[in-house]
Amino acid sequence: MRRVRLAGAAMAIVLAAAGAGCSSSSSSGSSSSGTAVKGGTASYGFVSGNQPNWIFPYDSPAYSSVANLDDLQQPLYRPLYWFGGQNDQPTADYGLSVADAPVYTDGGQTVVINLKGWKWSDGETVDAQDVIFWLHMMEAEPANYYGFVPTDIPQDITSMAATGANQVTLHLNKAYSSLWYTYNELSQITPMPAAWDVTSLGAAPGSGGCVTDSAADGWAKCKAVYSFLTAQAQQAATYPSSPIWSVVDGPWRLKSFNPNGDDALVPNPKYSGSPKPRLAQVDFDTYTSPTALYTAMQTGELDVGLVPDSNLPVKSGSAAPSSPLPNYALQLSYTFSFYFYRVNFNSPFGAVFNQLYVRQALAYLVDQVGIDKAVYRGYGYPTTGPAPTEPANQWDPPVEAGTGPYPFNPAKATSLLTSHGWAEVNGVMTCADPAKCGPGIAKGTQLKFTLDYASDVSGLPDEVAVYKSDASKAGVIINMDGETFNTVIGTAVPCSKGPSCAWDASMVGGWVYGPDYEPTGEEIFGTGAGANKGNYNNAEMNTLIAETNTSGSLSIYHNFATYAAEQVPYIWMPNSAQVYAVSKNLHGVVFNPLQTLMPEYWYLTKS
């Protein structure tokens, strides 16, 4: 799920890029030969279990995937501000946004948002009321939005009003960094049309009353609208014909949708922005495995797809590798992200995970360099904290350099455990001295837990197998349970102690920053945050994060990032560049570091 905090000249450069909107180019990694044609169909591949499965852009933690947010929802429903344009920067592109850059006054305590007057496909204007609709929904249903962070938007707004047909004015409870507020707060908002402010099909737009609702009735009208929209989103087979979901303001609309895969987008002829789609259709094709997807590219059945690690040549240098597919060019993509597996602090094993020394030991058992060589063929690189290390940026604190504070060291892991009262019994670390093991850990407790992982994500099965083997050398026994990506993220959600919180640990890959695009961590590490699926709770972390929200100081950001790197709130795992194959007849395809899919730039050529 997402910042520009620079010093000196570098700060001026990045802030200028963010303010100007990062001009959108139409460069492509594929060949430019051939004659451009209007129309045609391009196909984009998914692996079954990792495909889009939720259309309502007010996503709960169970549906907060790149496939849903970036591949399905954003082509249909434009967020208030667009981040990650047709370039390699994780910055705002105001040219692609439905609103002009926000205007801050009162030292950052008042924000004015001016919308551009774009149109919904039903002819209504994307206006101030549509922004208020979203904010009221956040007031009513904060726990059901994955991006919600207690005390942040909308709770940091003391008053909101439509101060013009296309203008919204927000008064905040204190002065915030304007960069942080734009990148991490306003970025949450996706304007919603009056056609969605209903509680039944066929009802008059706006009749649900969420736009005019208030706390006086406990946001009852918004809650009723949310319940209706959620029920509609659960009827996936009806998406293309739905009078709700067919009202779009993005460049695309749904032609067909299959909850098990194979969907189609076609141009929205009433799209107000630019560029207009040049293709007649984009197909989302779903395959049973990464190998099956690769086979489809070998036979020319697919235009764009992720190349499995096992099919890549060993990485040499920084350029994209030569293509093993004769009719495709390869593009090397680094996401603005960090990789990890979550531990569940509220699970029955939570008392063990709550011990910092245990998490440190688990980190020492991750051979990030070895996994890169054995699994990712040189395209991997260490995750050592919350600050992304690729693409190159200024946020990395010194502690994250190289292999970070916990380089692979099974002997160190063993020493940490035995010095805290554990002893290896029949090959399993077992608590022998509860006074040293820590609160809530009984004598005889074994360091044995289950890690649920996404078996349909390329490389993960091999990665977790290496980790399982290395962990066993220190007496840490990890049972690996492979499920589909969508199953794993649907299970690992914020929870209280009890039967619904029985999962121990979960791994689906990583966290791509967005819609919190400045990597300050509140969405994933903040107490009670919607994406804090492991239920991490640390007062010092909350304080350090809060300081980044009001200051543009790089040193303050580094204080937070250093603390997070050393605290290992989740266990850092190697990140990896993604390598996409793009048909040489398809152009304008760019994979930005935020993974926002923009097929409106794509076009086909013929020789």
Q: How far apart are CA 361 and CA 408, in angstroms?
A: 10
List CB contacts of 572: < 8 A, sequence separation 6 or more.
338, 339, 340, 363, 366, 368, 382, 383, 384, 385, 404, 406, 565
* 587/578 Cα distance (integer angstroms): 19
Instruction: Decide the pairing of beta strands 263-267 and 571-572.
Output: unpaired
pLDDT confidence tier of residue 607, bands split at 50, 70 and 90 = low
Taking 90 as the threshold, does the pLDDT of residue 12 lie above it? no
The answer to whether residues 247 and 125 touch, using CB atoms and an 8 Å cutoff, is no
455-471 pLDDT, tens digit each = 999 899 999 999 999 99
* Confidence (pLDDT) at 17: 34
Q: What is the pLDDT of residue 87?
A: 84
Q: Residue 302 has what DSSP assignment?
A: -
Over residues 314-320, mean pLDDT = 83
Q: Which residue matches tokens 């083997």? A: 469
Angle between the 554-567 and 539-550 helix axes, to the nearest 10 degrees?
A: 160
Element (H or E) spanning 228, and its range? helix 220-233
Q: Is the pLDDT score of 448 beyond 70?
A: yes
Please state, for a pLDDT cut of 70, what percent of the chain lies above it.
Answer: 94
Closest listed residue to residue 467, CA positions, set 551, 572, 559: 572
**pLDDT at residue 35 greater than cutoff 50:** yes
Q: Decide if pLDDT at 29 tops 50.
A: no
* 441 phi-psi bin (left φ>0, alpha ψ -120 to 50, beta other): beta
* Residues 205-216, mean pLDDT to the nearest whole number: 98
Q: Cα 599–60–77 angle (5° rounding)? A: 30
Q: At what angle do helices 356-364 and 410-419 cross, to 10 degrees?
A: 160
Question: Which stretches of 389-433 are assigned E, i.e. beta strand?
Answer: 422-425, 428-431
Residue 399 has a CB neighbour count (10 Å cut-off) of 18
Distance of CA 53 to the CA centre of its chain: 15
Per-residue pLDDT tens digits for 217-248: 999 999 999 999 999 999 999 999 999 999 99
Mean pLDDT check: name the lowest of 155-164, 223-232, 494-503. Answer: 494-503
Label residues 25-56 b or e (16+ Cβ within 10 Å = b): eeebbbbeeeeeeeebebbbbbbbbbbbbbbb
pLDDT at 133: 98
Q: What pLDDT, on the 0 to 100 scale, is given for residue 329?
A: 95
Rounded mean pLDDT, 90-100: 95
What number is the average pLDDT over the span 14-32? 37
pLDDT grade for 339, boundaries at 50, 70 and 90: very high
DSSP reduced 3-state for 162: strand
**Residues 67-91, mean pLDDT to the nearest whole number:** 93
Q: Domains of the chain, with CATH numbers?
A: 8-27+56-230 (3.90.76.10), 337-576 (3.10.105.10)
pLDDT tens digit string along 190-203? 999 999 999 999 99
Q: How far is CA 526 from the centre of its chain?
A: 16
- DSSP-derived 3-state class of residue 339: strand
Q: Evaluate if residue 13 carries a pLDDT over 70.
A: no
3-state secondary structure of 471: helix
Phi and psi at 563, nearest 5°, equal: -60, -45
* Confidence bin at 34 (pLDDT 50/70/90): confident
Give the residue from 336, 320, 317, 339 showing the smallest Cα distance to 328: 320
Q: In which band, very low, low, confident or very high, does the pLDDT at 254 lie, cut at 50, 70 and 90? A: very high
Which of 33-37, 94-98, 388-392 has the least mean pLDDT? 33-37
pLDDT at residue 606 tops 70: yes
pLDDT tens, position by position, 388-442: 988 888 888 999 999 999 999 999 999 999 999 999 999 999 999 999 999 999 9
| Distance in angstroms (rounded) separating the CA atoms of residues 194 and 87 | 33
- Could you tell me which residues come within 8 angstroms of residue 465 by beta carbon, excluding any fewer than 6 positions away? 480
